[in-house]
């Protein structure tokens, strides 16, 4: 912008110089022509005269006239020069300093088109030391806009205020910074605090005041649509990736065969869809092909978690979704393109490690939405120290052997080692040995959405009446040994959605013994959301034993007492069908 102004100033000065030089030459030409015509007249007059005295007198008269004419022309020229000088002086007084985007101050001549340049630069100095938006008339703009000193600097693009054009001088809460994350959170909150939201637009930093307004506006708009906010992790939650150099030759060959098979099945599916009309009757859902990808440009293999496409399709109906990963931004976008190839779920709401305001943890501070209506799906609870109440903690998905060993999992914990993926059975007709975790997560979201009470029963949504989603799964807590496990007085008895009110469920083998937050497991969240109480030990108040296998001590204890022994499908189907189903149809085998 500065170079444009300098170029136009130089061009304007050159034109002015050429114009003045041309006028001077024309004036000299006029004087010469006048002298020539006067001499010609006098010669003709002298030819007619007969006396030398008369001729000499005529020549003297001619010289006198030419001298007077030249003096008159010279006087006129001086007057024009004085007028030109006065004009330049006035223009010089009207010269205005312009604040450019580079932070330098240069001048621009207003009478020669500077108004357009000033408008382009947006900010000019009105001569009194204050900056206003410019169309060249500083006094007029000073009445309409605040000075830069009074600007609240609502947002910055690459360090330049979008309102007044000044450079940023306040300390911003930048993404991916080092240091203690908790200390950084405590330092924020000042009047001039800023937060980088580069995932929305490259180089964008907004004031905390504007960010709060944007979050609240997005929250209201989403609640009016009857939706929640959902933040999804990628690695070990929706997919699993492994680098080429972490695999041996045998594993590489096996993976290449599976990738080739998937590509053949995808091609066959495309042909079949073309024969039946070219549409996808499943509403975006894909067949259960082994979704394994070889990404040569990242030197990785990536396996998607079973049911991921169906999960995203159903979740999008009740949630506004974000991706939030500790991985690299380019990797995050590449993975998002695998699970959302049509770009209809996330719409650019993809937050990578460099976009986060914390270096080692995650936070909802840059997610446009409200904490009271946001659910988080992640395999690690410790990365959400400030939002554990929003978390749905899922079991890690290990497809590759190296992925399982890096987390010190037991032997044959990966899909490649055990040969069975989530939802797959050893024999046809037999129950699946490993649960489809994303189906359980969808059940949690369904309960949360239903219990948020978006409508009054007639279909009319009232955003102000919705409940805090964090309270939906904290009604009863977990009853320990010796406590009254059946005490559910804190639950609203008028709610028809508390299907399991009065049930006290004892988990067996549902969560690992070293799990830091067993209460955030999807199945236990579903149970609490439906009104049940979770018991942490065997006691007389237990009514149900929730088990993965039928040979545990708790299962044997429950059978002796005649308790219901159920698997996780009972809770999931109760949530999805919004009814208390017969426990005998979901007995643990």
Parse the chain into domains and list their residue ranges. 2-93, 99-211, 228-443, 473-586
pTM of the predicted model as reported, rounded to 2 decimal places: 0.70
What kind and span of H or E run contains 304? strand 300-304
Percent of the chain past pLDDT 90, that is, above it, reads: 46
User: What pLDDT does 287 receive?
Assistant: 42
> What is the DSSP annotation of 476-500?
S-EE-TTS-TT--TTS-TT-TT-TT
Secondary structure (H, E, C), 160-175:
EECCCCCECCCCEECC
By mean pLDDT, which of 190-199, 267-276, 411-420, 530-539 is the weakest?
267-276
CA distances from 429 to 198, 307, 424, 433, 551 (A): 50, 19, 10, 12, 21
pLDDT at residue 108, rounded to an integer: 39
**Backbone phi, then psi, for 363, in 5-degree steps?**
-150, 150
The residue among 274, 279, 347 whose CA lies nearest residue 312 is 347
- The 10s digit of each residue's pLDDT in 500-544 is 999 999 999 999 888 888 999 999 999 999 999 999 999 999 999
81 or 353: which leads in pLDDT: 353
pLDDT band at 550 (very low <50, low <70, confident <90, very high): confident
What tokens does 267 get?
């091609």
What's the rounded mean pLDDT across residues 154-164? 89
65 sits in which H/E element? helix 52-93
Q: What is the pLDDT of residue 177?
A: 47
Most confident of 289-293, 399-403, 550-554: 399-403
DSSP per-residue codes, 430-453:
SPPSS--HHHHHHHHHHHHHHHT-
Task: Indicate if the pLDDT at residue 275 is higher than 70.
Answer: no
**From 62-76, 155-169, 536-550, the region with the lowest mean pLDDT:** 62-76
Fold (CATH) for 228-443: Rossmann fold (3.40.50)
Write down the pLDDT at residue 142: 54
Residues 374-395 have pLDDT tens digits of 999 999 999 999 999 999 999 9
Ranges 188-197, 359-368, 405-414: which has the least confidence: 188-197
CA 192, 229, 301 angle in degrees (round to 5)? 100
Q: Which residue has the tokens 């009074």?
A: 150
8/29 Cα distance (integer angstroms): 32
Identify the pLDDT of residue 101. 37
Q: Average pLDDT of the chain? A: 76
Burial class (CB in 10 A: 0-12, 13-18, 19+), 429: exposed
**303-321 average pLDDT score:** 96
Confidence of residue 552 (pLDDT cuts 50, 70, 90): very high
Alpha-carbon Rg of the chain, whole angstroms?
40
Integer Cα distance of 194 and 383 in angstroms? 23
Higher-pLDDT residue of 322 and 170 is 322
- Which residue reads 């797959």 in tokens? 424
d(CA 576, CA 578): 6
CA 316, 322, 323, 328 torsion: positive or negative?
positive
Question: Token pair for residue 537?
Answer: 């030990």
Residue with the larger pLDDT of the pair 59 and 488 = 59
Burial class (CB in 10 A: 0-12, 13-18, 19+), 190: exposed
Query: Which residue from 332, 329, 304, 308 is spatially nearest to 400, judged by alpha carbons?
Result: 304
Do the first three CATH levels of 228-443 and 473-586 match, i.e. the same topology? yes
> Which CATH code is given to the segment(s) 473-586?
3.40.50.10190
441-462 pLDDT, tens per residue? 999 999 999 987 654 444 444 4
The confidence band for 30, taking pLDDT boundaries of 50, 70 and 90, is low
Whether pLDDT at 46 is above 60: no
């Amino acid at each position: 912008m500065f170079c444009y102004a300098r170029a136009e100033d130089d061009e304007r000065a050159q034109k002015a110089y050429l114009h003045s030089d041309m006028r001077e030459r024309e004036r000299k030409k006029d004087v010469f022509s006048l002298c020539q015509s006067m001499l010609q007249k006098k010669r003709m007059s002298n030819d007619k005269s007969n006396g030398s005295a008369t001729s000499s007198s005529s020549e003297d008269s001619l010289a006198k006239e030419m001298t007077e004419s030249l003096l008159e022309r010279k006087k006129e020229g001086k007057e024009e020069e004085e007028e030109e000088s006065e004009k330049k002086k006035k223009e010089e007084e009207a010269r205005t300093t312009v604040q450019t985007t580079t932070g330098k101050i240069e001048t621009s001549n207003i009478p020669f088109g500077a108004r357009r340049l000033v408008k382009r630069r947006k900010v000019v100095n009105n001569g009194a030391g204050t900056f206003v938006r410019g169309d060249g008339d500083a006094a007029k703009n000073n009445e309409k806009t605040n000075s830069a000193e009074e600007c609240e600097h609502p947002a910055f693009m690459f360090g330049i205020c979008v309102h007044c054009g000044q450079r940023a001088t306040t300390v911003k809460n930048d993404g991916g910074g080092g240091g203690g994350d908790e200390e950084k959170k405590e330092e924020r909150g000042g009047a001039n605090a800023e937060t980088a939201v580069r995932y929305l637009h490259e180089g964008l930093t907004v004031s905390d005041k504007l960010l709060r307004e944007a979050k609240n506006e997005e929250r209201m708009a989403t609640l009016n649509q009857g939706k929640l906010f959902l933040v999804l992790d990628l690695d070990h939650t929706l997919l699993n990736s492994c680098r080429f150099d972490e695999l041996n030759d045998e594993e590489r060959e096996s993976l290449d065969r599976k990738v080739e098979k998937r590509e053949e099945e995808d091609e066959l599916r495309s042909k079949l869809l073309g024969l039946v009309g070219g549409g996808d009757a499943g509403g975006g859902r894909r067949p259960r092909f082994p979704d394994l990808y070889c990404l040569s440009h990242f030197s990785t293999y990536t396996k998607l978690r079973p049911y991921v496409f169906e999960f995203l399709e159903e979740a999008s109906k009740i949630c506004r979704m974000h991706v939030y990963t500790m991985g690299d931004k380019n990797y995050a976008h590449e993975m998002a393109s695998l699970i959302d190839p049509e770009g209809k779920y996330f719409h650019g709401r993809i937050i990578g490690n460099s976009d986060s305001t914390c270096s080692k943890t995650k936070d909802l501070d840059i997610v446009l939405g409200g904490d009271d209506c946001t659910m988080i799906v992640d395999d690690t609870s410790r990365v959400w120290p400030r939002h554990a109440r929003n978390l749905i903690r899922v079991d890690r998905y290990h497809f590759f052997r190296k992925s399982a060993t890096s987390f010190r999992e037991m032997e044959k914990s990966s899909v490649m080692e055990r040969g069975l993926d989530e939802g797959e059975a050893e024999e046809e007709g037999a129950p699946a040995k490993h649960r489809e975790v994303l189906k359980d997560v969808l059940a949690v979201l369904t309960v949360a959405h239903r219990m948020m009470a978006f409508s009054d029963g007639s279909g009319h949504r009232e955003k102000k009446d919705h409940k805090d989603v964090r309270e939906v799964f904290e009604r009863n807590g977990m009853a320990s040994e010796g406590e009254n496990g059946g005490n559910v007085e804190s639950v609203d008895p008028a709610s028809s959605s508390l299907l399991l009110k009065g049930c006290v469920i004892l988990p067996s083998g549902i969560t690992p013994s070293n799990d830091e937050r067993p209460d955030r497991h999807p199945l236990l969240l579903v149970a609490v959301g439906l009104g049940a109480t979770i018991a942490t030990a065997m006691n007389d108040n237990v009514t149900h034993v929730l088990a993965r296998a039928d040979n545990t001590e708790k299962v044997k204890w429950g059978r002796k007492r005649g308790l219901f022994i159920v698997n996780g499908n009972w809770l999931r189907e109760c949530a999805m069908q919004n009814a208390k189903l017969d426990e005998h149809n979901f007995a643990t085998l």
